[in-house]
Amino acid sequence: MKLIIAAIKPFKLEEVREALTTIGVRGMMVSEIKGFGSQSGHTEIYRGAEYAVNFVPKVKLEIVVAAAMADQVVETIAKTAKTDKIGDGKIFVLDVNQAVRVRTGETNEDAI
């Protein structure tokens, strides 16, 4: 099993969710986060005063899938979340050693 963590632009969330559902992803966790990468934030003017925005709003997706499906999920997220502008996000893939569905006690791939 693999854990795929993706940080994407918030307005791309629904489009990415629909694309993942289409390829058979049955669940995901979504969190609103803030962060920065290459862009290192930016400055804005509010009521005449300039201030630095050091953290940019993002959405973090966490998805656990069978190892055989991981590459397809990564490709789908990358293709769907892409805007060709700085700040499109990052995707990380980690190994998952164990999963348990609390309600039924199912384990590993049966639990996802």
Average pLDDT of the segment spanning 38-43: 65
Contacts of 27 (CB under 8 A, 6+ apart): 63, 112
pTM of the predicted model as reported, rounded to 2 decimal places: 0.85
Options 3.30.460.80, 1.20.1050.10, 3.40.50.300, 3.30.70.120; CATH of 2-110: 3.30.70.120
Over residues 53-77, the pLDDT tens digits come to: 778 889 999 999 999 999 999 999 9
Could you tell me if 25 and 65 are in contact, meaning their C-beta atoms sit under 8 angstroms apart? yes
Give me the sign of the Cα torsion angle 104, 107, 110, 112.
Answer: positive
CA torsion angle 37 14 52 49 (round to 10): 160
| All structural domains of the chain with their residue ranges | 2-110
Is the per-residue pLDDT at 104 higher than 90?
A: yes
Identify the band that residue 44 occupies on the pLDDT scale cut at 50, 70 and 90. Answer: low
